[in-house]
Amino acid sequence: MLTCKEWLVCPLSEEKYMNQTSLPFEFHENPEPVAGGGLLDRRLFLRQGLALGSLTFISQGVLASEFDRPAWVLKPGHPFTNYGQPSPNEKEAIRWISSNPAVPGNGISWTPLHMLAGTVTPSGLHFERHHNGVPQIDPNQHRLLIHGLVNNPIFLEMDKLVRYPMVSRFRFIECGGNSNVGWHDEPTQATAGNLHGLVSCSEWTGVPLSIVLEEAALQPSARWLIAEGADAAAMNVSIPIEKALDDAILAIYQNGERIRPENGYPLRLLLPGWEGVTNVKWLRRLEAADQPAMTRNETAKYTELQPDGSARQFTFIMEAKSLITHPSPGHRLQGPGLYQISGLAWSGRGKIKKVEISADGGKSWAEAELQEPVLSKSFTRFRIPWRWDGGKTVMKSRAVDESGYIQPEREKLILERGRNGYFHYNAQVAWGVDTEGRLNHVF
Ligand SMILES: Nc1nc2c(c(=O)[nH]1)N[C@H]1C(S)=C(S)[C@@H](COP(=O)(O)O)O[C@H]1N2
Ligand SMILES: [Mo]
C-alpha cells in the first residue's frame, strides 16, 4: 500500500525556462502545447537547457553576508571508508520486501523506481526474487559443470572462467510476474516501484556463453540447456539452444563489481530480454538435452492459462513496456505549473523506438524525448515537459520498440489473454492526478 509519506514535487521555475526573451527560440513565454492536458514540445528543456548553461540559478538578491556557513563547513569531515554507502539522508530509497513469514528466504523485493533517476539500478537496489534464500557461496569452491549432449564435458572453476574473453552489456532483468496486479479487477494503490519494480537494469560483464559451449562441443541433438542454480531450491529451467548461442552471458560482474550475493554471486546466467526466471542465479550446471526438463518453473509456474483453456508455455520474451516514474503515486505536485514528466521504457525484443505520453487520459499523445544512448534490451529514460493547470487528469505512457511492437491498452491485453493471467502483464499504466496534486493508480 501507499507509504504514508508524500514526496513533494515543486513546479519548475517558469521564468528560468520560459522567459529568457533573448534566447533564439520560436517560443519564449508560453510555448504552445503539443497535445492535450498541457504537454509541451519534448525538446523544450534540451534547447533551453543548452542556452541556459551560462545562467546562474542562485536566487538574486541574496547577499554573501547573509549566506551563513553551515555547521559542516566549520569542522573537519568524517574519515573515509573502504566501501561507500548512500547518504543517511536517503533512507527512503530502499527495496520494499515481501517474503513468506514461514519461509523468510522465499520472496521478492521491489526496486524503488519512483525514487531513482537515470537508467542504471544501483546494485544494492536491484530487485530480488529468491525461491529459497541467498546462498553464501565460497567462490573458490564454486564450479560450473557443462555436460549432457556435449563431446567435451567441462568443469570450470571461477578462476578459470575469468580468463575467457568478456563483454559488458547494459541489460534489464524483469520477473515474468512483474506488474501482475494489473490483472486484478481494481487498481492497487501503491508506489510505482511497489507495483512495477520487479525490473532493474545493470551493466553486466561476463563471458559469452557461446564461447564456452563451443569448447564443450554440443552434439547435433542438443536442443535445450537445463540450467541449475546452487541455491537450496536448486532452481532449474530449460533454455532453447538458440538463445544460449545468441546473446547469453555467464555474468560475473554487475555495475563494475562482482555480482552481489542476492543477484547470483559468483556466477549467473544472463539471458537478455527474457523473463527473470530464465536468468538462473548461482549457476552451477548446464546440461545439454534434446528436450526441456519440464521443471516446476516452466510448468506449474511461469505458464499462462488462456481464455480457451490452453496454457501459454515458454513465453520467454518480456514485451515492450513503459512507466512514468516522475510524477507517480506518492509524489505530490505543489500547485499548477511546469513539470517534467519522466520515466522508463524497455523491451525484450531490442531497442525502444518511441515513447508517447498522454496527459488527457489517452485522447491525445505527444512524443517524449529519449535519453541517449538508447540501448537494446536496456532501460531507456524518457522525458517531456508538461504544464499542469491544476485540474483533474490522467497521464499514461506507451512504448513502441524497434520491432514495431506497441505496448497495448489494458483492454486489448485482457481481450487477448483473458483474466486468468498472473504473468507477462505489460499494458499501458495510467496515473490519475487530482486537484490536490496527488497521484493514484487508475485503470
Ligand atoms: N538459482 C536461482 N535462480 C533464480 C531464482 C532463484 O530463486 N534461484 N529466481 C529467478 C527469478 S523468478 C527471477 S525473477 C530472477 C530474479 O533475479 P534477481 O533476484 O537478481 O533480481 O532470478 C531468477 N533466477
Ligand atoms: Mo521471477
Would you state the pLDDT for residue 67?
A: 72
Count of alpha carbons within 13 Å of 247, Cβ hemisphere only?
Answer: 14
What is the whole-number distance in angstroms between the Cα of residue 281 and the centre of ligand 1? 6
Would you state the pLDDT for residue 309?
A: 85
pLDDT tens digit string along 345-379? 999 999 999 999 999 999 999 999 999 999 999 99
The CATH classification number of 143-302 equals: 3.90.420.10
Q: Is the CB of 351 under 6 A from ligand 1?
A: no
Would you state the pLDDT for residue 267?
A: 98
What is the whole-number distance in angstroms between the Cα of residue 350 and the centre of ligand 1? 22
Residues within 5 Å of ion ligand 2 by Cβ? Answer: 129, 175, 276-277
Residue 6 burial (CB count, 10 A): 14
Would you state the pLDDT for residue 72?
A: 93
**Residues of the chain predicted below pLDDT 50:** 1-4, 18-28, 49-59
Q: What percent of the chain has pLDDT over 90?
A: 77
Q: Whose CA is nearest to atom 2 of ligand 1?
A: 281
- Please list, in sequence order, all residues whose beta carbon lies within 8 angstroms of the beta carbon of residue 105, skipping any fewer than 6 positions away: 99, 130, 132, 133, 134, 232
Would you state the pLDDT for residue 64?
A: 64
Would you state the pLDDT for residue 65?
A: 63
Own/partner long-range contacts of 266-271 (Cβ < 8 Å, ≥24 apart):
266/137, 266/139, 266/142, 266/158, 267/142, 267/144, 267/158, 267/161, 267/206, 269/209, 269/227, 269/239, 270/169, 270/171, 270/173, 270/204, 270/206, 271/239, 271/243, 271/247, 271/316
Would you state the pLDDT for residue 189?
A: 97
Same CATH fold assignment for domains 143-302 and 321-442: no
Parse the chain into domains and list their residue ranges: 143-302, 321-442
Q: Is the CB of 318 under 6 A from ligand 1?
A: no
Which ligand 1 atom lies nearest to the CA of residue 229?
1
Q: CA 332 → CA 100, 217, 343, distances in Å?
A: 32, 58, 16
Would you state the pLDDT for residue 402?
A: 98
Contact 174, 192 (CB under 8 A): no
The CATH classification number of 321-442 equals: 2.60.40.650
The enclosing H or E element of 196 equals helix 192-196
